[in-house]
């Protein structure tokens, strides 16, 4: 016996959730990569930066410059990109797998379909746990890093280390005074967008998992009903 095409795993809502997860993962990866490329392209190491602040003495020009050597904490960016890549895989597997499960005659037994649905559920759970852990780590790492005290390094080298977001958002504060740092404003928005994208992945992934879990439960209930009918038929 095969499942009808209207199986719970083949619904517009699941397709919408899978597409949303796919889109969110692509945006998260794109924003993270864009801010990373902005930082590396606009701030080669080392870079001499002139800042017109009270510490700048016209008689001693060296006090007007800060040398930046951007040491970056790479773990938040790496985990963000890994989470986004995992989200892409899960979205494609769940979307395609759900569509195939709903096709009439694609698999012979209802038990086989149930096992595949359970596998999709387990895969989704592992991804959601990883996405939540990634979002938590990235947020905590951004909030607990050292203060971006750039003005304390006149005539010296400012190295950090800071996260990608820490660098671009710290430099964006000086964008009004230094036109060369105008790029940091956009990069800061991209970096923060990538961080919040991790949260979006976890939320949408959780909705996908909940939907697959419901579909698997429905399949199990259908199996139990069929077994009960078979037992009644055998008794007669």
Q: What is the pLDDT along the chain (236 residues), one digit of tens a residue?
A: 344 444 566 677 888 889 999 999 999 999 999 999 999 888 877 787 777 666 666 666 666 777 888 888 899 999 999 999 999 999 999 888 777 766 655 554 667 777 777 888 899 999 999 999 999 999 999 988 877 877 766 666 788 789 999 999 999 988 888 888 899 999 999 999 999 999 999 999 999 999 888 888 877 776 666 665 555 555 55
Query: In 3D, which of 182, 200, 196 has the Cα closest to residue 76?
Result: 196
Backbone angles phi, psi at 48, to 5 degrees: -90, 125
Domain boundary assignment for the chain:
12-42+73-148+185-223
- pLDDT for 59 equals 65
Query: Whole-angstrom Cα distance, residue 116 to residue 41?
Result: 46
Count of alpha carbons within 13 angstroms of residue 102, beta-carbon side: 18
| Exposure b/e, 90-118, CB count within 10 A at least 16 = b | bbebbbebbbebbeeeebeebeebbebbe
- What is the per-residue pLDDT for 51? 72
Tell me what pLDDT residue 5 has. Answer: 45
- Listed in sequence order, the residues at least 6 apart from 15 whose beta carbon sits closer than 8 Å to its beta carbon are 95, 98, 99
Q: State the Cα–Cα distance between residues 129 and 143, nearest whole angstrom.
A: 21
Q: What is the pTM of this model?
A: 0.81
CA-CA distance, 146 to 148, in Å (whole number)?
6
- The answer to whether the beta carbons of residues 47 and 150 sit under 8 Å apart is no
């Amino acid at each position: 016996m095969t499942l009808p095409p209207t199986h719970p795993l083949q619904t517009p809502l699941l397709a919408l959730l899978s597409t949303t997860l796919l889109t969110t993962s692509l945006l998260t990866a794109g924003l993270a990569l864009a801010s990373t490329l902005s930082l590396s392209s606009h701030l080669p190491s080392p870079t001499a930066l002139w800042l017109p602040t009270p510490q700048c003495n016209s008689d001693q020009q060296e006090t007007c410059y800060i040398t930046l050597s951007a040491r970056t904490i790479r773990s938040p960016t790496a985990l963000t990109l890994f989470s986004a890549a995992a989200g892409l895989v899960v979205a494609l597997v769940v979307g395609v797998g759900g569509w195939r499960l709903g096709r009439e005659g694609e698999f012979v037994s209802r038990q086989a379909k149930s096992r595949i649905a359970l596998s999709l559920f387990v895969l989704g759970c592992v991804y959601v746990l990883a996405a939540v852990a990634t979002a938590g780590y990235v947020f905590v790492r951004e909030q607990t890093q050292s203060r971006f005290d750039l003005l304390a390094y006149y005539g010296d080298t400012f190295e950090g280390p800071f996260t990608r977001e820490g660098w671009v958002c710290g430099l964006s504060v000086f964008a009004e005074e230094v036109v060369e740092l105008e790029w940091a404003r956009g990069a800061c928005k991209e970096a923060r967008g990538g961080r919040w994208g991790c949260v979006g992945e976890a939320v949408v992934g959780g909705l996908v998992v909940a939907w697959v879990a419901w579909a698997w439960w429905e399949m199990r209930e259908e199996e139990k009903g069929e077994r009960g009918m078979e037992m009644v038929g055998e008794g007669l």
